[in-house]
Structure 1
Amino acid sequence: MAEAILEVRGLVKHYPLTRGVLLRKQVGSVKAVDGVDLTLHRGETLGIVGESGCGKSTVARMLVNLERPTAGSIKYRGEDITRLSGRALKAVRRNIQMVFQDPYTSLNPRMTVGDIIGEPYEIHPEAAPRGDRRRKVQELLDVVGLNPEYINRYPHQFSGGQRQRIGIARGLALRPEIIVADEPVSALDVSVQAQVINLMARLQSEFKLSYVFIAHDLSIVRHISDRVGVMYLGRIVETGRDTEIYDRPTHPYTQALLSAVPVPDPEARERRERIILTGDVPSPTNVPSGCRFRTRCWKAQDVCAEEVPPLAVPSRPREEGGPAGHESACHFAEEKQVVAAETR
């Protein structure tokens, strides 16, 4: 296993709910992220998957310090970046860059492509001499599959896929070690999604990058990720290698997600057990006690309301020496094959 370059422990982000105009009083909080542990190793892709509103994008913004966490630590090469400010934080940000979700709003419409990609050099002038920046921007355009002559064009002159390539080029400008990709293909057509994913995979090998790849599309996450973390209501409920999560899921929520993935084979679709969750996702302002998934889980018992299940290897597979040796936050975690082998 390669060295761990990013370690997240006990990450929490609560947004206060206030009432009143002149005398504002806090009456509660939105628990967007509530105790997330993650580890990213050098050269790997860590996928984070979950339904909308589970806290994925909030985690992404905290990893690049666009949001300050309420509690917890984010250590880059052993240094807690949540405690940094000024020049020290600026130096770390050079090594951790972000690709945003919406290619239409993440690019300034009043700036040319050359200015957008070259803007990091204005903030970090030591990365490129002023007279050499135009050449470096053109090289980046070529690297992401765009014509270097497009340097003087504006964002509105490009398609969605081309705009996302521009965003990726901007993220590569400072030669970072980590790129946090927050649903980088969710706003693109399916055919364009494949092109951008393949581009990111090539760039990872070429530039020795480590990715935190956030998405809600299970098939895309499996295609690009080495390890996967499944989020539900602000917490990681299961984590492991891609084959462990997709072929041998142990958490009921992961099993329900996988059972909803479309299967192109009609016969396999008929044989597959469909898991239908009841009820709605609880509000992050009033999360259930104990296990957060218990209000929708068919395995829920009294202990689920009383105790928070730890994110750990299930006791049964650990005792039996079985293959399901990955972590799951469930009192009754049990391996279940959701997608038949012939459909994968």
Structure 2
Amino acid sequence: MTAPASQPKKVRGEPILAVRDLVKHFPITRGVIFQRQVGAVRAVDGVSFDLRRGETLGIVGESGCGKSTLARLLMRLEMPTSGAATLEGRDLFAARGAQLRRLRRNMQMVLQDPYTSLNPRMTVGDIIGEPFEIHPEAAPKGSRQRRVQELLDMVGLSPEHINRYPHQFSGGQRQRIGIARALALRPEVLVCDEPVSALDVSIQAQVINLLEQLQDELGLSYIFIAHDLSVVRHICDRVAVMYLGRIVELGTEAEIYQRATHPYTQALLSAVPVPDPEQRDNQNMIRLIGDVPSPANPPSGCRFRTRCWKAQDVCATQDPDTVPRAADPHPSACHFAELREPASPS
């Protein structure tokens, strides 16, 4: 699944999605009748990035770092506490009514679990064709069945399966159905929230290859959220590493996987299993001390400092910005960003 380190990535176009200082705090309240806010869970706390046309931006990080909340914000399933996001120059969070419907048509989502994201009482044809009921301009009524059959063929399923139910398909086939549903309205951006984590390894490769093929054919842009760093390396042009609601490092595939400068990114990469048994002793894994702090009470200054072996006094008082560092020109949120020395041979 891992792409060769020397594999060149495609040159991408101008930004199609721009996110600036996006914040989502969930209030913590006390009281039954008279509730008062006593705190907040800082799920997303100042995230900024651009998604270019035809690009795949990977978002990685531990569970609870805010990846899925970020996806829900971009899909307008949650409203932000503050911040802005624009799709092709149009404000995502100011849109209402017909304008919001048009924006949502242009950005669709592929969900994590193919077993629960499909309605078991609906046929595949009804599931894939349901978006046409909300956006009838996308497909005239008389041509909808033909359009659904075209979508099934596009994702590698037989058009004859249009009258089957989700339980009659395997996990990988169900995820293909979910992708077909996301493509029904001809969007330009797909938000993929852990789209292969519930699948077997061999099926993961098939779905990833399908996504890459569709991107080339349709000119799609992806936000690809995942835990598996090898999957992210295979499909993504750039990678954003999140920790406690913030992006701590952002760079191209080569910059993140070969020249990571943030200690958290280095620790994540060191934990990736090595398939060759003879190289495992030289893996030089970084073992982090302590647990991930609560997003309701993050540490002062640098949020990673409580687990970082490089932490000094300045880390407790000054929150580092995600900016280019002297160690390497890609953005990193660390006062002491530096390249990691390679493991020495035994």
Same fold (TM over 0.5): yes
> Where does residue 78 of structure 2 map in the other structure?
67
Question: 2:329 is paired with a residue of what secondary structure?
Answer: coil
Do the aligned partners of 1:259 and 1:339 also contact (CA within 8 Å) in 2?
no
Contact residue 161 and residue 196 of structure 1 kept, 8 A = yes
Q: CA deviation at 1:338?
A: 5.3
Q: Give, in angstroms, the shift of residue 27 of structure 1.
A: 1.3
Task: String of CA shifts for 1:98-137, please: whole Å, max 9, x gaps.
Answer: 0001111111111111011001111100010001000000
Q: Match of 2:46? A: 35
Matched residues in 1 for 2:81 and 2:212: separation?
A: 33
Paired position in structure 1 for 2:340: 336
CA contact (8 A) 1:6 1:40 kept: yes
- Which residue is equivalent to 2:58? 47
For residue 93 of structure 2, the aligned residue among 82, 88, 106 is 82
Q: 2:298 is matched with which residue: 269, 287, 300?
A: 287
What percentage of residue pairs aligned between the two structures are identical? 70
Aligned counterpart in structure 1 of residue 114 of structure 2, from 103, 110, 114? 103
Q: State the secondary structure of the residue aligned to 2:186.
A: coil
Deviations 1:64-123 (A, max 9, x none): 111111110011112211111111111111100000011111111111110110011111
Q: 1:221 aligns with which of 232, 251, 268?
A: 232
Superposed, 1:127-206 pairs within 5 Å as: 127-206=138-217
Equivalent-residue separation in structure 2 for 1:162 and 1:208 (angstroms)? 23
CA contact under 8 A between 1:47 and 1:212: conserved in structure 2? yes
> Gaps spanning 5+ residues in structure 2: where?
1-11
Contact 2:282/2:343 (8 A) holds in 1: no
CA gap of 1:19–1:139, structure 2 versus 1, over 3 A, is: same
| Cross-structure match for 1:304 | 315
Hey, what's the Cα distance between the residues in 2 that align with 1:140 and 1:19?
49
Aligned Cα root-mean-square deviation (Å) = 1.3
Pick the aligned partner of 1:326 from 324, 330, 337: 330
- Taking the aligned partners of 1:173 and 1:137, their CA distance within structure 2 comes to 8
**TM, length-normalised to structure 1:** 0.95
Instruction: Please state how far the C-alpha of 1:183 moved relative to its aligned partner.
Output: 0.4
How much does 1:161 deviate?
0.7
SS of the residue 2:76 aligns to: coil
Q: Mind listing any 5+ residue stretches in structure 1 that lack a counterpart?
A: 318-323
Alpha-carbon distance in structure 1 between the residues aligned to 2:42 and 2:238: 25
1:131 aligns to what SS in structure 2? helix
Matched, 1:260 2:271: yes
Match of 2:255 among 207, 220, 244: 244
Q: Tell me which amino acid in the other structure corresponds to 1:179.
A: L
> Is the Cα–Cα contact under 8 Å of residues 20 and 84 in structure 2 kept in the other structure?
yes
**Displacement, 1:266?**
2.6
Instruction: Give the paired residue count.
Output: 334
Correspondence for 1:234 among 212, 235, 245: 245
Corresponding letter in the other structure for 2:95? L
Confirm whether residue 10 of structure 1 aligns to residue 21 of structure 2: yes
Instruction: Confirm or deny: 8 A CA contact 1:19 1:27 kept in the other structure.
Output: yes
Preserved contact between residue 94 and residue 176 of structure 1 (Cα < 8 Å): yes
**Equivalents in 2 of 1:83, 1:289: separation in Å?**
32
Between the aligned partners of 2:229 and 2:175, the Cα distance in structure 1 is 20
